[in-house]
Amino acid sequence: KRTLLPLLRDEASAFVFPCRLALQRPELKYMVMELLRCIPLLLFLIFVCGLDHFIFSVLSIIQNHSFVQYSYQTSHHMSVTVMGTSLMAQLLRSTIGALNTSFDTQVDTSNIACLPKPHGMSREQYLNTCLPLAALALLCLAQVYPFRLRRAIAAFYFPKREKTRVLFLYNKLLRQRKNFFQLQRRCIARRARQPPGLGTSLLEWCSQHWPWLRRCQRRSCTLCGTPGTPWHQVCPSPGCGALYCDRCW
């Protein structure tokens, strides 16, 4: 029965390995999408903080430049003098004399009670406002690790469904690998029919005259691109020299 392990390099990039601490390509794509959803909240928060600072600045200008103080001062003196010594003069002096008044008035007023008294937010308050959004972004970064347990939890409660899923994945990978090898063979045949470039010809000529240079070359499997190892097979056809891993060979 054909086996899939170890996975090819292109196949491994499409899977999530739970034991790896680093973020993997499928998780990175999902994490970026979640972070993009936080951008509207970030823009709204910036808009609200900017609007708050703008309103505070306007009210501060009004408070500092719209203060008006009024000072009103007046003085009133009234004196009625009745001359004479007759009875009528004495009567008028006793009655009209009550009209003699004298007073000074001074009134100070201002519009300070009508002026706004804004209170700006401190840096700590702005920071506390941004903390929930920062916590949300951290959750978007850290949620990939709990999500790795979804398959194990689903397999525990639905083992038959898990078996069906694994079988489907196995058949899918077999079909993909078969198509991949066929496509790579056609690409290799197409490249073989093309004349080699100047750099390739020069490298082959140097390798033939100085065999020790082959050790310095970084060769990989012609089909899957796996880095070369001592266990890789070299094509025995004369003039070929292509390198293949055990699986592709």
Domain ranges of the chain: 19-68+111-148, 69-109
Q: Are 31 and 76 in contact (CB under 8 A)?
A: no
Q: Mean pLDDT for the chain? A: 80
**Which string of b and e fits 62-96 if b means at least 16 CB within 10 Å?**
eeeeeeeeeeeeeeeeeeeeeeeeeeeeeeeeeee
| In the chain, % of residues over pLDDT 70 | 76
Report pLDDT for 239. Answer: 63
Residue 23 CB: number of other CB atoms within 10 A? 15
Does the pLDDT of residue 123 top 80, yes or no? yes
Residue 120's pLDDT is 86
Predicted TM-score of the model (pTM) = 0.59
Q: What is the spatial distance between Cα 36 and Cα 2, in angstroms, rounded to a whole number?
A: 42
- The mean per-residue pLDDT over the stretch 73-94 comes to 77
> Does the structure show a pLDDT above 80 at 162?
yes
CB atoms within 10 A of CB 249: 14
Q: Give per-residue pLDDT as tens, 2-38.
A: 677 777 777 787 888 888 888 888 888 888 999 999 9
Q: What is the mean pLDDT of residues 171-188?
A: 78
Amino acid at 170: Y
Q: Per-residue pLDDT tens for 205-238?
A: 666 666 655 556 666 776 666 666 666 677 777 6
